[in-house]
Chain A
Amino acid sequence: MAKKIPAAKTRGKHTWKDTKVGCVLLEEGKAKPFEPGEKPLLVPLWDKEMCVRCGLCYLFCPDAAIKRSDDGYYEATLDYCKGCGICHQECWFGAISMMEEA
């Protein structure tokens, strides 16, 4: 015999007026409470021998994902890198290559 489906507890209380509007952002900066999504397909990898520590890659990253580490070299925070490849394209010395993450 099939189980009886229990009546929803909120029935009668929850109306369409309580339903949240989808796809509308009413305030700015609302992406902050969420976790960063999946890792990008291709991530930038630095070749420290070719890098001259100029900082161009850092300046051109639209997501502010590239941080300067203490030794002066640059590194991407993979949580926020979207894998766009601008840093790879803009490095004068070809120090960045886009690779699949191991």
Chain B
Amino acid sequence: MDKFALYVPQLLPFKEHFLPEAHRACMGCGIALGVRQTYKALEEKNEWMEGAHWEVPFKQPLPGSLIKGTKEVGEETRPALLQIEKDGQAHLLICFDNEAVTAKPTPAVFKKAFPAAAVARGFHYVATACPSYPFDLIDKVRRGMESEGNSYIHILSPCPVGWDFESEFTVQIGRFAVESAIFPLYEVVTGSPRLTIDHPKIRPVEQYIHLQNRFNHFKKKEILAIQAEVDSHYTKLQEGKL
């Protein structure tokens, strides 16, 4: 890393729109971190952000929805999508994914579906991001805001309670997810994905899985199967296919 790149946080606006007194997130919440960084990106671009604080449309999955699968999540977001298509205006749709709404924790399969579906629906700008890479996230939100058509951003937000790890590792686990290619960071502008962060050396998926107690039931065979799937997805992305 460049010696001066370390000081880049100082270039961001210091003003907070995301106020600590107005939200009730748990300690070390990945969603809160993601929302805060998103607000930093949107700042100065939108006057409507003034005074918005935490008071934004924000839907939280209820504990009862733990048993729901991808299909139900799709049905919940359908009214929003229909509204977007009706409006005729460009929208920015951001999904904060804390992986709470899966029937079984299956880390690799679930996440491909959403960006791919957004591309199939004709979104102009589709990207994945993670708050462990703040500048990448901020870049993508700004680009999504500037794009002429609709844009969709899928943000992985680690959840210390749901994933069962110590709260201080929130940022590190997000980094592990990206380094092990289980959640690759890419953006799709003209139909073909481009990796924005491409690590020369990919971690084994096992390291990411062993950090979290929710995956304690995984056996060696299952981890190998996940590894194979992640590898094939990642090589596809490197070739420019979704």
**B-binding residues in A (CB < 8 A):** 27-29, 31-32, 36, 40, 52, 54-56, 58-65, 68, 77, 80, 82-86, 88-90, 92
Contact = CB atoms under 8 A, between A and B. Distances in A.
B134 A59 contact: yes
Interface of B: 6-7, 9-10, 12, 14, 16, 18-30, 32-33, 36-37, 53-56, 58, 134, 160, 166-172
B22 A62 contact: no
A62 B55 contact: no
A31 B23 contact: yes
Given A64-B19, A64-B36, A84 B6 contact: no
Contact of A59 (B9, B25, B30, B170): B9
Contacts of A32: 19, 21-22, 53
A56 B25 CA distance: 21
Contacts, number: 89
Nearest to B57: A28
A75 B42 CA distance: 25
Contact of A65 (B20, B25, B160): B20
A85 B58 contact: no
A89 B14 contact: no
- The 8 A-B residue pairs with the shortest CB-CB distance, nearest first, are A85-B168, A55-B9, A84-B28, A82-B27, A80-B20, A84-B27, A62-B33, A62-B32
What does DSSP make chain A's interface, helix, strand, loop or mixed?
loop
Nearest to B175: A90
Nearest to B4: A54
Contact of B20 (A59, A64, A68): A64
B168 A84 contact: yes
Contacts of A54: 6-7, 9-10
B39 to A, nearest CB: 9
A55 B28 contact: no
Contacts of B24: 31
Contacts of A68: 14
Contact of B29 (A36, A52, A62): A62
